[in-house]
Structure 1
Amino acid sequence: MKTLLLNKEEVSRLICMKEVISAVEEAYKAFSSNQVLQPDYIGIHLPPPRGEIDFKLSYCGSNELISMKASSGGFANNLKDHGVPSGMGTILLFDARCCALLCVMEGSLITGLRTGAAGAVSVKALARKNSGKIASIGTGSQARMQIRAISEVMKIEEIHAWNNTPETLSQYKADIEGEFGIPVVMAKSKREAVEQADILITTTRGKGTLVQADWIKPGTHIVAIGTDQQGKQELEPEIFRNAKIVTDSLTQCIEKGETWHPLNKKIITRDEIHGELGEVLLGWIPGRESDQEVTIFDSTGMAIQDNITSEKIYRNAIASETGTFFEFFKS
């Protein structure tokens, strides 16, 4: 059996954001309906100045595929010393019927796309229908990806953005307004941005409270992206009191997501977590039930998102005869 090799440029041509949003919706439904086997991911932290590498694995019964993603980050000296990016990703896709390797594809773009799509899926399910203003705490590549995805599912009237570096914030404004034509207001403080939000997006590597509870207005939908392991935090735990809390994976979020913090401080109990986004999409539990409730989507990221997104890319590659085939062994 031959294995397909896809580089980053090929991957970028083989899928659009609308397809990724659809794939992520499928992934959440499959996960919450017990069609997925997804072990805890493994991370290796290497001695400074190097960073970490994580391995995420999933099996999906609906497509009979196994995916494994290796994703690295924090290697600050990579470009200077090795001529490669500070973070990289690779996805291996296996045929679960025989475990033959079907495809090796560049994975860092997929990670960015499917994480952005996750925010968009949560907005469709949980944000107020008349939402127009977005606050973005963080203005890096994932903050941009969130806008790219959310603009596919709603009309964004304006964005109130904050970054502690004025030059970075100014570049974000230029990039977003240039690509999407959406007005960007450069907030002088986090509070100034958050108080405007119908939808609040946090995409930092924060390790403490960045957003305080009394800044959140009724009816806000919060897309919490940055916290995906112990030690990270963006939201004051008090925000979770009386909010509707929806997770991507309940197990992951109570162990390493933003939800861990209010649980640890006993502000909420596990029974007060509303459920998983897949359950909302399946109609098993309600989404937003009033224009006044605060909804929180805690996204830690799941291997099944990579699985179903990379499947679509692989199928599109076969259909369009894109990529390079090679053989590990002759049958």
Structure 2
Amino acid sequence: MNTLLLDSDDVDEHARTADVIGAVEDAFGAYERGDAQMPAKSYIDLPQYNGDFRSMPAYLDAGEWDAAGVKWVNVHPDNPADHDLPTVLGTMIYSDPETAFPLAIMDGTALTMKRTGAAAAVATDYLAVEDATTFGVVGAGAQSYTQLDAISEVRPIEEVVVSDLDDERIERFVDAYDDEFDVRAGSISEAGHCDVLSTVTPVRDPVVGPDDVGERTHVNAIGADAEGKHELSDDLLLEATIVIDDHKQCTHSGEVNVPYHEGTLSDDDIHGEIGELVVGAKSARTGDTGVTVFDSTGLAIQDVAAAHVVYENARADGSGYDFGLIDTDR
């Protein structure tokens, strides 16, 4: 029995967007039903290298399939300038829950991109208006592409507005999608007045306020992934219907972390977790007006769900590199 090695191109090819969205939705449902295990993310702090390591293990039983794995990921902000490497690198070990055999080792960076977009798509499907055709994105980095790819799977997006301080990044984004959508550069407010908005910036001072969104905009708040990060103003959050992915993670390092710890926002201001919407325990959007916000911190169950998709598709296609990691003849 062999282990499958899958590089970033393999993951990108086999993490088919619609499949990953479905698997991530299944994972949110399993987590809410208690059919998943997700220990707290653990950290190894490396101040001498201005970085850290994080381990993210999980198991989930989605009914028709179950899966387990762990993602080993880092954040090293000096990597691009000092080492010509990405700030974030990830490796995913995907295992058979029954035997613990390592079925695959795969690039976790591309996997993270795909599952993050998929989570936003799941939230958009439950929280955006049904006839949403316009999409705005604040921040034209790598995740902006995955957001549009995934969200356009659940809503018939026609027009796209991208806002960023870097004109070159905007130009690359527009060029990438010019043949698929009516896409243009715009201000934060222009992006925010679309039916769906994704914010994918690392800011600590909010850049999107109540006047920057439409009366029925759904916002996917993606950028906040550490204490102190904060893209949406407190006034906007207090006016909106807020759905989070996980209470502990979001109040520690998600979009709501700053106002929550300052006492500006409390549990009473949070509508529920996305898993509650998936299983029907809490209501999704029911009207045509009102701002909704999804606070996405990224969960290990999403990584395992996406890894399941990649592994099954790669095996079916005969892709990747098979190698004998473990001597099973012993």
TM-score (norm 2): 0.91
Q: Read off the aligned partner of 1:111 and give its amino acid letter.
A: T
Shift of 1:77: 4.0
Query: Within the alignment, does 1:165 sit opposite 2:162 as a pair?
Result: no
2:68 maps to a residue whose letter is: I
* Aligned-pair CA distance for 1:275: 0.9
The answer on whether the counterparts of 1:238 and 1:262 sit within 8 Å (CA) in structure 2 is: no
Counterpart residue number, 1:4: 4
Matched position secondary structure for 2:153: coil
Find the counterpart in structure 2 of residue 32 from structure 1: 32
Q: Which residue of 2 aligns with 1:243?
A: 240
In the TM superposition, what is the alpha-carbon distance from 1:80 to its structure 2 partner? 6.4
Alignment match, 1:19: 19
1:253-296 superposed Cα distances (whole Å, 9 cap, x missing partner)? 12221122332343332133111111112112110121122111
Give per-residue Cα distances to partners, 1:87-132, cap 9 Å, x unaligned.
3211001223333322211111111011011111111111011222
Equivalent residue number for residue 182 of structure 2: 183
From 322, 325, 328, the counterpart of 2:326 = 328
Q: Is the 8 A contact 1:2 1:327 kept in 2?
A: yes
Query: d(CA) in 2 for partners of 1:78 and 1:302?
Result: 25
1:23-62 to structure 2, matched below 5 A, reads 23-47=23-47, 50-62=50-62
Q: Hey, what's the Cα distance between the residues in 2 that align with 1:156 and 1:162?
A: 17
Aligned to 1:193: 191
5 Å-filtered alignment, 1:147-296, equals 147-178=148-179, 181-187=180-186, 189-194=187-192, 196-296=193-293
> Structure 2: how far apart are the matches of 1:293 and 1:250?
23
Q: Distance in 1 between matches of 2:319 and 2:52?
A: 32
1:125 maps to: 126
| Farther off after superposition, 152-161 or 265-274 | 265-274
Say which SS state the counterpart of residue 276 (structure 2) adopts.
Answer: helix
Q: Deviations over 1:115-163 (max 9, x none)?
A: 0111111111110112222221101110111001111111212122211
Name the SS of the counterpart of 2:205 in structure 1.
strand
Secondary structure of the structure 2 residue equivalent to 1:152: helix
Structure 1: unaligned runs, 5 residues or longer: none
* Secondary structure, counterpart of 1:4 in structure 2: strand
Q: Which runs of 5+ in 2 are unaligned?
A: none
For 1:252 and 1:233, the matched residues in 2 are separated by 14
For residues 51-100 of structure 1, the C-alpha deviation after alignment (integer angstroms, 9 at most, x for no partner) is 3332211111344432110122335446864x654432110012233333
Question: 1:112: which partner in 2?
Answer: 113
* Aligned residue-pair number: 326
CA distance in 2 between counterparts of 1:317 and 1:2 reads 14
C-alpha spacing 1:14/1:160, structure 2 compared with 1 (3 Å): closer
Q: Which residue does the alignment assign to 2:74?
A: 72
> 2: distance between equivalents of 1:67 and 1:131?
35
Indicate how the Cα distance of structure 1 residues 99 and 287 shifts in structure 2: closer, same or farther if over 3 A, else same.
Answer: same
Cα distance in 1 between the residues matched to 2:242 and 2:79: 39
Please provide the CA RMSD for this pair.
2.1
Give the residue type in structure 1 aligned to 2:154.
V
Q: Secondary structure at the match of 1:267?
A: coil
Query: Structure 2 CA distance, aligned partners of 1:260 and 1:304?
Result: 21
Deviation at 1:321, TM superposition (A): 3.1
Letter in 2 for 1:134: F
Q: 2:197, 2:85 → 1: CA distance?
A: 33
Within 5 Å, give how 1:134-153 maps onto structure 2.
134-153=135-154
1:313, CA displacement in angstroms?
A: 1.8
Q: Distance in 2 between matches of 1:127 and 1:50?
A: 39
**Matches of 2:194 and 2:58, distance apart in 1:** 35
TM-score, with length taken from structure 1: 0.91
Q: Does the 8 A contact of 2:43 with 2:53 survive in 1? A: yes
The alpha-carbon deviation at position 49 of structure 1 amounts to: 5.9
Partner Cα separation in structure 1 for residue 15 and residue 213 of structure 2: 35
The aligned amino acid for 1:54 is: R
Change (3 A) 1:14 1:173: closer
